[in-house]
């Protein structure tokens, strides 16, 4: 069974600080995605990475896919209260629509003003 472990589970930091969230697995994924979920809403896709070593930036968020395509990280620079939420990584073993996407255990992030 493929599993995605996220760390830390919970993170509370002051506005303006930097942080990194990790997503690790012993399995190889064809692609990896990061989602953010706010209370009472569904997850919203932030990014998809498909190539080992790939780095993508979305304003203050930097996403990296590990060289072996088994892990990923999300780095936030100068965190703001609006970044608060549940961050989920999700890996797809294959590219087809029948490929079961595996979600990570989640990181609950709280940014204090």
- Positions that interact with other proteins (CB under 8 A): 30-31, 33, 37, 40-45, 48, 50, 86, 88, 90, 92, 94-101, 103, 105-106, 108
Residue number, 44 or 68, with CB nearest to other proteins: 44
CB of residue 77 to other proteins, shortest distance in Å: 25
CB nearer other proteins, residue 66 or residue 106: 106
For residue 30, count other CB atoms closer than 10 A to its CB: 13
> Could you tell me the smallest distance in angstroms from the CB atom of residue 109 to other proteins?
12
Nearest residue (CB) to other proteins, 14 versus 96: 96
DSSP category for residue 89? E
Cβ 22 to other proteins, closest distance in Å?
Answer: 17
For residues 72 and 87, give the distance between their C-alpha atoms in angstroms, rounded to a whole number. Answer: 13
Which of 79/107 has CB closer to other proteins?
A: 107
| Cα–Cα distance for residue pair 4/96, rounded to 1 Å | 20
Question: Taking the CB of residue 103, how many other CB atoms lie within 10 A of it?
Answer: 14
Q: Write down the least CB distance from residue 16 to other proteins, Å.
A: 27
10 Å Cβ neighbour count for 58?
Answer: 11
Can you tell me the distance from the alpha carbon of 45 to that of 49, in angstroms, rounded to the nearest whole number? 12
């Amino acid at each position: 069974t493929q599993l995605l472990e996220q760390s830390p589970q919970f993170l509370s930091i002051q506005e303006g600080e930097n942080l990194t969230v990790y997503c690790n697995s012993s399995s190889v994924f064809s692609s990896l995605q990061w989602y953010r979920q706010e209370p009472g809403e569904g997850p919203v896709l932030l990014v998809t990475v498909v190539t080992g070593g790939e780095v993508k930036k979305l304003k203050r968020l930097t996403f990296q896919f590990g060289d072996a395509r088994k892990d990923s990280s999300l780095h936030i620079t100068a965190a703001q209260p609006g970044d608060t939420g549940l961050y989920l990584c999700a890996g797809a073993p294959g590219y087809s629509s029948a490929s079961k996407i595996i979600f990570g255990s989640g990181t609950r992030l709280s940014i204090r003003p």
